Structure 1
């Protein structure tokens, strides 16, 4: 029977993780970022499913050939995952194996669900690989970069009109604001007292930080994300952190930015999806 673990016990199951797997799964198991873990056996788990706390997907971990776990997956998804996903407005199940041996299992077990797939690339950047290039884009008049501090986050003087935009993005990935302020790094671009682009750590494990970037639609195309990302990268490297950038294989502009800065392709993986009926 697939059972959910108590949040206080997640760290006990790090042996299920693949050493070269995705950072998000490790961050949940280590208790840095929120999430839920479901396993085949609480006492002696062999396989599991992680539901990221930002509702951005599911990771299959452990033994991909566990017949007991695999035979229950469809029933578990239908009776537990789907009803809870509907309550929060999720319309797609996106699943990823934390090692590539899961790929064939996912395709076989979920074959009756009109399964689609996509390709992802993971890049990492360490201090010695960083290219301090001259391609840094100029910023149009009226825009300025700010490091997100506790003062800016609290916004007690109301200098930022859309502070909820920042708050909502941070709490999607972090269990608390204090946790983010203590462990994460973030920069934003401000225009006329509104945050229009952000680059922040959305997952972190030890010295490795995953990057999330977003620019509001009406300000896209001005290379604001590049500007915020460069400030973020420099801050992380100054603190001897390793950067982790996960992007779709089809996102050629994002890949070009990463490679121009010095990011190296660490590994690639496949994601699988189906519509939640």
Structure 2
């Protein structure tokens, strides 16, 4: 029977996770970032499903041929996942496999649900192949600040709640982020218009998350905050990690222009709850 695993027992899943897979799953299993885990057996799990704490999808891990888990997963989604997802305005099931063998299993399990797919690209940046030396030029009305400074000032920015809400999508508290993550933002006339921060963290890997206000897109602000984020990572011997959809042309361009290298790709699958 598929059950939710108590957070104190997340460590039981550590040996099941693919070391070369997505950073997000590792961060949740290590309880650095919030998330929920559902497993076939809470005492000795063999297969599981991670619900990412930022509500950005579900990650299958472990044995993809586990009949007990696979026979129950559709009913579990219908009776547990869908009702809870709708309460937080999620109307799609977006799934990824923690290793490539899950791809065919996911296709088989959800073939009756009008399953569709997309491609995801993962980039990393190592100090020994980094060659971007100069900060991107942006309009003088925009200024880059470290998030720690902005957060310490608290409500002095017009839309500080925008920053708080984005950080809390990934972290259990602002304090937890400040203790473990890094980030920068762009200020325009006392308003936060672009942020780049650690969404997930595992050991010395920091997963980039970039958010912007639509009115300020197309001004090289993403490249500017990404530059500062990378500089901070490299200074502290940390490894920046960038995960984005292949069809997100702008994000892929910023990653490459900032010096990231594509290290692996994976498939995502989705179907509607409607």
Please give the range of the TM-score, normalised by the shorter of the 2 chains. Answer: over 0.9
Task: Note the 1:1-277 alignment, pairs <5 A.
Answer: 1-134=1-134, 136-149=135-148, 151-156=149-154, 158-277=155-274
State whether residues 133 and 261 of structure 1, in contact with CA within 8 Å, keep that contact through their aligned partners in structure 2.
no
Cα offset for 1:215? 1.3
Cα offset for 1:252? 2.9
Following the alignment from structure 1 to structure 2, what is the Cα–Cα distance between the partners of residues 112 and 12? 32
The 3-state SS of whatever aligns with 1:196 is strand
The 3-state SS of whatever aligns with 1:272 is strand
The 3-state SS of whatever aligns with 2:271 is strand
Following the alignment from structure 1 to structure 2, what is the Cα–Cα distance between the partners of residues 191 and 133? 25
Structure 2-normalised TM-score? Answer: 0.97
Instruction: Give CA-to-partner distance per residue, 1:127-175, whole Å, 9 cap, x none.
Output: 11111244x43211221000011x521434x320100000000000011
The 3-state SS of whatever aligns with 1:173 is coil
Following the alignment from structure 1 to structure 2, what is the Cα–Cα distance between the partners of residues 170 and 114? 33
Instruction: Give CA-to-partner distance per residue, 1:56-109, whole Å, 9 cap, x none.
Output: 100000000101100000000000000000001101110000001000000000
Number of corresponding residues: 274
Structure 1-normalised TM-score? Answer: 0.96
Following the alignment from structure 2 to structure 1, what is the Cα–Cα distance between the partners of residues 247 and 172? 31
The 3-state SS of whatever aligns with 2:56 is coil
State whether residues 155 and 163 of structure 1, in contact with CA within 8 Å, keep that contact through their aligned partners in structure 2.
no
Following the alignment from structure 1 to structure 2, what is the Cα–Cα distance between the partners of residues 140 and 261? 18
Following the alignment from structure 2 to structure 1, what is the Cα–Cα distance between the partners of residues 2 and 109? 15
Cα offset for 1:253? 3.2
State whether residues 247 and 254 of structure 1, in contact with CA within 8 Å, keep that contact through their aligned partners in structure 2.
yes
Following the alignment from structure 1 to structure 2, what is the Cα–Cα distance between the partners of residues 81 and 74? 10
State whether residues 230 and 240 of structure 2, in contact with CA within 8 Å, keep that contact through their aligned partners in structure 1.
yes
State whether residues 58 and 95 of structure 2, in contact with CA within 8 Å, keep that contact through their aligned partners in structure 1.
yes
Following the alignment from structure 1 to structure 2, what is the Cα–Cα distance between the partners of residues 65 and 205? 28
